[in-house]
Homo-oligomer: A and B are copies of this chain.
Amino acid sequence: MTRTVVVGAGQLGPVRREDSRDSVVERLIVLVEEGASQGCQLVVFPELALTSFFPRWAIEDPRELDAWFETEMPGPATKALFDVAAERGVGFCLGYAELTPDGHRYNSQILVERDGSVVGIFRKVHLPGHEEIEPWRPFQHLERRYFEPGPDGFGVWRSFGGVVGMMICNDRRWPETYRVMGLQGAELILCGYNTPRHYPPDPSQDPLQGFHNALVMQSGAYQNGTWVVGVAKGGTEEGVEMLAESCIIAPSGQIVAAAATAGDELVVASCDLDRCAHYKETLFDFERYRMIEHYGLITSRRGAIAPDPPEETS
C-alpha cells in the first residue's frame, strides 16, 4: 500500500469585507478542481478562509459579529464545496469561524475525507492578539475578544493513510504544538494562517515575518519527523498586507514546495508519509532519547520566572 499523499496548499489572495461566502466558495472550488486535475487527495485552505480576516475590526454589535461565524458545516454556502470535493474524490481542510449550538465561538478548521465524511474539527489553541480594542493600532487583532481557546488541545486523526494533525496560525509558533502531536505519531500537520506582515507591538519583526514563518514550521517538522503544510492568505486585504508564503515542508525540515505569488494559488507536493520514519526511528526516537524527567517546567510553569537578581551591594 502506498503511503504517499498528494497535497495541495490552496493559498488565497485577499478576501474583501463585502465579498459573499458564495464568491469565496467559488474560488475554493476552482482550487479543488485544480487539485483534482493534479492528482491531489487533499487540498488545504487558510485560516478563516470564507471571509475577510474580521478580527482586524472592532465589532461591537453582537449580530454583526455573528454574521462572520458559521453555525453549521456544511452550511448553505459551503455545501457546494463539500459536493464538488466529494464528487472529485478530493479531501480538504478548511478554516472558518465556528459558532456552536450552545454559543461557543472558536477559530476552527475542519478536515474532510475524500468521500465527503468529516474526519475531525480542530479549534485553535494559541489565540494571539488582544482582548480590548486598542485604538493606537493601525488595525486590530481581536482574536482574544472574539474566540475562546480550543478546549480539546492537539489531537490527531487516522486519515489519508496516515496520522494527521491540525493547527492554526499562531499555534505554529509554539514548539509544544508540534510536540504534542508528535507524541501521538503525527505524520502530516495541516496549518492555515492569516499573518499580517506588520506586527504593531514590535515592528522590528516586520521584515522577518517570512523567515519566522518558515523557521517555526521547518523546525517543528524536523524535530518531530512530520510533514507540515502551511497555507496562507496573501496580498493586501482591506489595507493590511498579508504574508502569503504558503509552503509544504518535509520531515527533514526542507521546504519542498512554495507559493510564487500572493494570490489564489495551488502549491502541490507529493508527501511520502514513510519518510517520517527516517527521523522518528533514528535521531528523534522519542522513547529512546527524550528525557521527560527534566521537562517538568514546561507543564508546571506558564510564565517565565528568572532567578532573583544579585543583591545590591551598598
Residues of A at under 8 Å CB distance from B? 125-126, 128, 149, 153-154, 156-158, 163, 170, 173-176, 178-180, 182-185, 199, 201-202, 204-205, 208, 211-212, 215-216, 218-220, 222-223, 252-254, 278-280, 282-310
Contact = CB atoms under 8 A, between A and B. Distances in A.
A306 to B, nearest CB: 3
29 contacts: A126-B289, A126-B291, A149-B291, A154-B294, A158-B310, A163-B306, A170-B289, A174-B290, A175-B175, A175-B223, A176-B179, A179-B297, A180-B298, A184-B305, A184-B307, A185-B304, A185-B305, A201-B282, A201-B283, A204-B252, A205-B283, A215-B219, A280-B304, A286-B304, A290-B302, A292-B298, A295-B298, A296-B299, A298-B299
Contacts of A278: 202, 204-205
Q: Which 9 A-B pairs have the closest CB atoms?
A: A287-B303, A185-B306, A219-B219, A153-B294, A175-B175, A201-B282, A183-B297, A202-B282, A176-B295
Contact of A307 (B128, B163, B282): B163
A100 to B, nearest CB: 19
A213 B205 CA distance: 23
Contacts of A290: 174, 176, 302-303
A223 B218 contact: no
Contacts of A211: 253-254
Identify which of A128, A163, A208, A301 gathers the most chain B CB atoms within 10 Å of its CB: A301
Nearest to A157: B307
Contacts of A283: 128, 173, 199, 201-202, 205
Nearest to A293: B153
A173 to B, nearest CB: 7
Given A174-B223, A184-B306, 10 more contacts: A153-B293, A158-B306, A163-B307, A176-B179, A176-B295, A202-B282, A208-B254, A280-B304, A287-B303, A296-B299
Contacts of A216: 219, 222-223
Contacts of A180: 294-295, 297-298
A13 to B, nearest CB: 25
